[in-house]
Chain A
Amino acid sequence: AALNDGLRSQVSAALKEGRVTPTELCQRCLALIKSTKFLNAYITVAEETALKQAEESEERYKRGQPLGILDGIPVAVKDNFNTAGIETTCASNMLKGYISPYNATVVQKLLDQGAVLLGKTNLDEFAMGSGSTDGVFGPVRNPWSYSEQYKEKSVPKSHSEDGEFNWVITGGSSGGSAAAVSSFTCFAALGSDTGGSTRNPAAHCGVVGLKPTYGLISRHGLIPLVNSMDVPGILTRCVDDAAVLLGSLAGHDPKDSTTIQDDFKPFELPNLTDVSKLSVGIPKEYHAPGLSSEILALWSKAADLFKNAGAKVVEVSLPHTRYSIVCYHVLCTAEVASNMARFDGLEYGHRSDMKDSTESMYAATRREGFNDVVRGRILSGNYFLLKQNYEKYFVKAQKVRRLIANDFVKVFRSGVDILLTPTTLSDAAPYTEFIQEDNRTRSAQDDILTQAANMAGLPAINVPTALSERGLPVGLQFIGRSFQEKQLLTVAKWFEKQVQFPVIQLEEVKRHDSGVFQHQKSASFS
């Protein structure tokens, strides 16, 4: 089995038939993690426990009793999910050295099905950011920076004046997870998505990034950012794999009362051939200022693709789109101000040596533990929650939120099944360029196309579509109706098949994948 095989179609079968063993798979991934260390995708690699899990999986396969499709499959988890016995840092000094006493529900579910947990991936500190550049362990590098495709197109510009290699960012905040999946060090990874944090890096790293409907997957154990918008995100190399992961993670969790109680039935995606009954909406407001002409053209081509295949493609309007970022800014900082209050140094995490008083110890601990971005959001949030500002800002933002959510309800009620939009404004920027603007400005710019789906709680997915002129991935986004993941993923899978996104050509991967390195011919979409 090759590292770029789909789970359901190939790897699982290979494991069952003994053509590859879980231990081999695990070792290959661990070796690849080592040789791609320069990507800085992983904060912690749990080598020993992973190998142990792989051995246990192997025993089960030998007995002919695998736990399911995920048995023996190497996965990675974003470092803001609690993992028992493994350090969980949220890329912050505040939680350096914090060893979780429990597994987040989604982590437990993966382990219960025999998945092999390779390690914890890098992110922006406390998932605040859109570049995966603001964590204490340093920025994550986009694997595509090192691809043949990028090198071919960007050689003259790929080195800055001082000879430093101008690598590009992964996007964020789940950049480590996206990079891990993109560079083949794991078959799937968990991210989180509050404003686009799974879909944004998925687009920049050329992988599938699924944001499920709010309330479908448990947040128990996911260190919270915005309780009313956070969801665990799924990153995989193909849509079918995302469906597999969704199937194993979705469902009511008594430990998270914001999960819905409806029965969830895992599903296999049909191979859609007839899209004539599909109605695709193109929200005109998503032609946002700053959208690159390249992506605009790609979006247009995608719409034509659906039209030519017989689907009904209509322009729709989501009039409050442009306020979603402002609304998010207020609601996010307000919830952050509340959620970060738990970090006081007493029960866990960093504790300052200051001991004059409880308050001064808390203040010093938080001063030492949080970076500027986190502290900035806490202070802004507290400002918006002040008695004199509460109605003006927080309640006002909640009202605007309803307007944004209603925009979607109206459009879906008018007969549209699914929305097609760009995911990002452009392809991945070089790191040196990206850090010239501050975190808040960047987040405000980059989240513009993804944020509204979180506001409305809707499911959304990034599907890698084509390579840009610079040789970097560009993705498009589908937004679906609440809890209609099956329809969303079915359409996404059809689209994925049409565009045939190319496989990344990475030297390191070729070296480790001594098996057949399958070249998927890309029917050049761009």
Chain B
Amino acid sequence: QKVSVEVLDHLEHLALVDFRDSEGVERLQKAIQFADQLHEVNTDGVEPMDSVLEDRCLYLREDDVTEGNCTKELLENARQKVEEYFVAPPGNIPLPKLEERETFLHGS
């Protein structure tokens, strides 16, 4: 079962990472094939495991301010900033649809 172009396109949108070429798509196909081996295992009545420390209580600290005030350090690594703001290009503009985008998925 090959992954449909719709799903591939959807993945590119979700991941904000592109397949770049047919090798990328092949890689995904192989990854799915590999993962399908999981279905050989009988997991009836087995609870999913999130963490090996599930039997312990997660540590919660007191809600006291112990650090912060490091705006300058945090902004240091940002490429574009204005005063104490990170600057981003305009939002609320979705990625172009598949037909309008320059992606190799066109050919698939």
Contacts and interface: CB of A to CB of B under 8 A. Distances in A.
Nearest to B94: A359
Contact of A98 (B18, B47, B77): B77
B60 A257 contact: yes
Interface stretch (A280-288, A396-404, A485-493): A396-404
Given A402-B49, A444-B34, A379 B11 contact: yes
B59 A252 contact: yes
Given A398-B48, A402-B49, A329 B43 contact: no
B26 to A, nearest CB: 10
B32 to A, nearest CB: 7
Contacts of B20: 367, 372, 375
A375 B17 contact: yes
Q: Is the interface of B mostly helix, strand, loop or mixed?
A: loop
Contact of B51 (A228, A254, A357, A386): A228
B35 interface: yes
B91 A357 contact: yes
Contacts of B27: 372, 376, 379-380, 438, 440
Interface string A405-445: 10000000000000000000000000000000010100010
A401 B95 contact: no
B49 A405 contact: yes
Given A351-B79, A363-B95, A378 B15 contact: yes
A258 B53 CA distance: 8
Contacts of A386: 7, 10-11, 14
Contact of B93 (A346, A359, A376, A444): A359
Contacts of B14: 382, 386
B4 to A, nearest CB: 11
A379 to B, nearest CB: 5
A101 B77 contact: yes
Interface string A327-359: 101100100010000001111110100111111
A347 B60 CA distance: 27
Q: Is the interface of A mostly helix, strand, loop or mixed?
A: helix
A355 B47 contact: no
A182 to B, nearest CB: 30
A457 interface: yes
Nearest to A360: B95
Interface string B74-93: 10111110000010111101
Given A257-B59, A400-B41, A359 B95 contact: yes
Counting contact residues on chain A (CB < 8 A from B), the size range is 35 or more
Contact of A396 (B43, B61, B70, B77): B43
B108 interface: no
Given A357-B91, A361-B89, A347 B47 contact: no
A354 B96 CA distance: 14
Contacts of B31: 329, 333, 376, 380, 383, 440
A381 B82 CA distance: 35
Contact of B52 (A254, A257, A405): A405
Contact of A349 (B43, B77, B89): B77
B47 A399 contact: yes
Contacts of B60: 257
Given A214-B52, A366-B17, A367-B17, A379 B24 contact: yes
A291 interface: no
A358 B93 contact: yes
B59 A357 contact: no
B93 to A, nearest CB: 4
Contacts of B97: none
A393 interface: yes
Contact of B41 (A347, A357, A382, A403): A403
8 contacts: A215-B56, A346-B88, A359-B91, A360-B95, A367-B17, A383-B11, A402-B47, A403-B46
Interface of B: 3, 7, 10-12, 14-20, 23-24, 27-28, 30-32, 34-35, 37-41, 43, 46-53, 56, 58-61, 70, 73-74, 76-80, 86, 88-91, 93-95
Given A228-B51, A457-B53, 11 more contacts: A101-B77, A261-B56, A356-B93, A358-B89, A358-B90, A360-B89, A399-B46, A399-B47, A400-B41, A403-B43, A405-B52
Task: Please list the 9 inter-chain residue pairs (A to B) with the smallest Cβ-Cβ separation, ordered nearest first.
Answer: A457-B52, A398-B48, A357-B93, A348-B77, A399-B43, A402-B49, A101-B73, A380-B31, A351-B79
